[in-house]
Amino acid sequence: GAGVSVVPSFVFGASPNMTKLNIGMIGVGLRGTNHLENLLLRDDVNIIAVCDIDPSRTKLAVEKVTEKGGRKPLVFGKDEHDYKNLLALDNIDAVIIATPWLWHTRMAKDAMRAGKYTGLEVSAANTLEECWDLVNTHEETGTHMMILENVNYRRDILAILNMVRQNVFGELVHFRCGYQHDLREVKFNNGKQPYGGGVEFGEKAISEARWRTQHSVTRNADLYPTHGVGPIAAMCDINRGNRFLSLTSHATKSVGLHNYIVKNGGEDHPNASVKFKLGDIVTSTIETANGETIIVTHDTNLPRPYSLGFRVQGANGLWEVDGNRIHIAGVTEAHHWDSADKWLEKYDHPLWKKYGELATGAGHGGMDFFVINAFVESAKLGVAPPMDAYDAAAWSAITPLSEVSIENNGEPQDFPDFTRGNWIKRKPYDWIKDTY
Ligand code: A2G
């Protein structure tokens, strides 16, 4: 709010006569707890209730709230449907959903039907039907939902978006992005620790390996498109003057997960006989209505350093995250790269300029802080969020569309127009401001 300044006692969102946003947390595993910690840095929210089927997680969440001097939240989670009792609470304004993927859409639908401003973790939906469900439920209820894509708030991404808005790259032509993250120690653990130490998944594992790995068994698709495509969609105004038209996808063979099991669990481990459908590298090419292409990579089963692989290219130059380099015609030497550092500094986003130290210093990685800030500020105002149900649907649709394309030797798949024609007149979101 107005008059906020950065002083030692500064709390994000502070404003004297602000009404507080009452929040319910659905899912307080590793991700939900991270959101909770960022919420507890603010003084404009109350955590009214927390829900998780694992009592050790709700216990931890309650402790975190009360340690910060908050009132003890109500606890839900006696069974998988107890979240509906949380949604029935009249005094909750907004909910954050951070649960296994297969619960996302149904929980978000129930939350919107209950009139709660809804924050939904990525990926939002698993099938085209679920994508439509998010859009239709938003339209039927008039309740807002925001897809909580944190990478849209990464410092370099917002600086590049700032450069895009100032036309530094010229007319946009081509993008690359993806989720390139060695998840082998996320997909397997020993049932005692969340990451690695064994080759179990499903019932015998805990945390993400308990539910996430199964998607690699049953689906050959880009399983996790939004970290890459979310930031690009903001840059090229998807659903706001532009839209995804179609895609083609290809997958390699699948060797990484099987090799990992054999190497760490032995050939005789029962999981050594599991056949993983997910190809190690899945590559999709999207065409947009404005004539750009976007190459999206999904690469989670092989040893490799983390990179979302961004490239943003226009008629006047390009940025590549790998190599941290930029070329701008007429500014950088012809045919040569310039380090991206001084560009990223020069075009640093107003939010990061203002609150970057607080966000990073608070030990919460910055971008997570800003995505939660955008959610809370939008919910307090009751306005549409920066990334809405149409974005959640269009971005998540890459999973089912890539699956069908791969199954059919790269046959092009049309994206549904989730805006039903409104993309032509919807105005680009104003990303470049210092409030949220
Ligand atoms: O790996 C990363 O932190 C991902 N986030 C997150 O979404 C999740 O997949 C995690 C594995 O547990 C980003 O890449 C921004």
pLDDT given at position 332: 97
Residue 171 β-bridge partners: none
Give me ligand 1 centre to Cα 365, in Å: 12
Compute the Cα dihedral for 389, 395, 401, 403 and give only its sign.
Answer: negative
- The residue type at 374: A
Helix and strand totals (H; E) in the chain: 15, 15
Q: Which atom of ligand 1 is nearest to the CA of 150?
A: 15
Instruction: Look up the CATH number of the domain holding residue 255.
Output: 3.30.360.10
Q: Which atom of ligand 1 is nearest to the CA of 186?
A: 12
Cα separation, 8 vs 143, whole angstroms: 37
Q: Is residue 212 part of a domain?
A: yes
Q: Write out the residue range of the structural domain in which residue 401 sits.
A: 152-350+389-424
Q: What residue's CA is closest to ligand 1, atom 12?
A: 186
Cα separation, 380 vs 21, whole angstroms: 6
Per-residue pLDDT of the chain (436 residues; tens, 9 = 90+): 333 333 333 455 544 445 899 999 999 999 999 999 999 999 999 999 999 999 999 999 999 999 999 999 999 999 999 999 999 999 999 999 999 999 999 999 999 999 999 999 999 999 999 999 999 999 999 999 999 999 999 999 999 999 999 999 999 999 999 999 999 999 999 999 999 999 999 999 999 999 999 999 999 999 999 999 999 999 999 999 999 999 999 999 999 999 999 999 999 999 999 999 999 999 999 999 999 999 999 999 999 999 999 999 999 999 999 999 999 999 999 999 999 999 999 999 999 999 998 888 776 669 999 999 999 999 999 999 999 999 999 999 999 999 999 999 999 999 999 999 999 999 999 999 999 9
Comparing CA positions, the residue from 423, 378, 398 lying closest to residue 146 is: 378
261-267, Cβ contacts within 8 angstroms, sequence gap of 24 or more: 261/188, 261/199, 264/188, 264/198, 264/199, 265/198, 265/199
Cα separation, 429 vs 160, whole angstroms: 16
Q: Is residue 342 part of a domain?
A: yes
Give me ligand 1 centre to Cα 183, in Å: 9
Compute the Cα dihedral for 112, 399, 227, 432 and give only its sign.
Answer: negative
Which of the listed residues 151, 181, 369 should we mutate to test ligand 1's pocket, taking the one with most ligand atoms within 8 A of CB? 181
pLDDT given at position 26: 99
Q: Which atom of ligand 1 is nearest to the CA of 306?
A: 14
Give me ligand 1 centre to Cα 228, in Å: 11
Give me ligand 1 centre to Cα 195, in Å: 12
pLDDT given at position 13: 53
Comparing CA positions, the residue from 289, 324, 330 lying closest to residue 308 is: 324
pLDDT given at position 6: 35
Q: Which atom of ligand 1 is nearest to the CA of 227?
A: 15
Q: What residue's CA is closest to ligand 1, atom 5?
A: 227
Give me ligand 1 centre to Cα 37, in Å: 17
| C-alpha count within 13 angstroms, C-beta hemisphere, residue 171 | 4
pLDDT given at position 360: 86
Render pLDDT for 352-364 as a digit per residue (tens, 0 to 9): 999 998 888 776 6
Q: Which atom of ligand 1 is nearest to the CA of 154?
A: 15
Q: Is residue 243 part of a domain?
A: yes
Strands 244-251 and 172-180: unpaired
pLDDT given at position 187: 98
Q: What residue's CA is closest to ligand 1, atom 14?
A: 227
Which of the listed residues 227, 229, 307, 364 should we mutate to test ligand 1's pocket, taking the one with most ligand atoms within 8 A of CB? 227
Comparing CA positions, the residue from 408, 127, 121 lying closest to residue 247 is: 408
Number of domains in the chain: 1
Give me ligand 1 centre to Cα 213, in Å: 14
Give me ligand 1 centre to Cα 277, in Å: 21
pLDDT given at position 16: 45
pLDDT given at position 327: 98
Q: Which atom of ligand 1 is nearest to the CA of 195?
A: 12
Tell me, what's the ipTM?
Answer: 0.99
Give me ligand 1 centre to Cα 227, in Å: 8
Cis peptide before 15 (omega within 30 of 0): no
Q: Is residue 405 part of a domain?
A: yes
Q: Which atom of ligand 1 is nearest to the CA of 122?
A: 7
* Residue 311 exposed, middle or buried by CB count within 10 Å (0-12, 13-18, 19+): middle
Element (H, E) at 39: helix 30-39
Give me ligand 1 centre to Cα 240, in Å: 27
Contact (Cβ atoms closer than 8 angstroms) between residue 279 and residue 251:
yes
pLDDT given at position 35: 96
DSSP 70: P
Q: Is residue 339 part of a domain?
A: yes
Q: Which atom of ligand 1 is nearest to the CA of 151?
A: 15
Q: Is residue 310 part of a domain?
A: yes
Provide φ and ψ at 84, rounded to 5°. Answer: -65, -30
Give me ligand 1 centre to Cα 304, in Å: 14
Q: Is residue 356 part of a domain?
A: no
Residue 414's SS3 state is strand
Provide φ and ψ at 409, rounded to 5°. Answer: 55, 40
Residue 67's SS3 state is helix
Ligand 1 first shell, C-beta below 6 A:
150-151, 181, 186, 208, 227
Q: Is residue 48 part of a domain?
A: no
Q: Which atom of ligand 1 is nearest to the CA of 367?
A: 15
Confidence (pTM): 0.95
Give me ligand 1 centre to Cα 424, in Å: 33
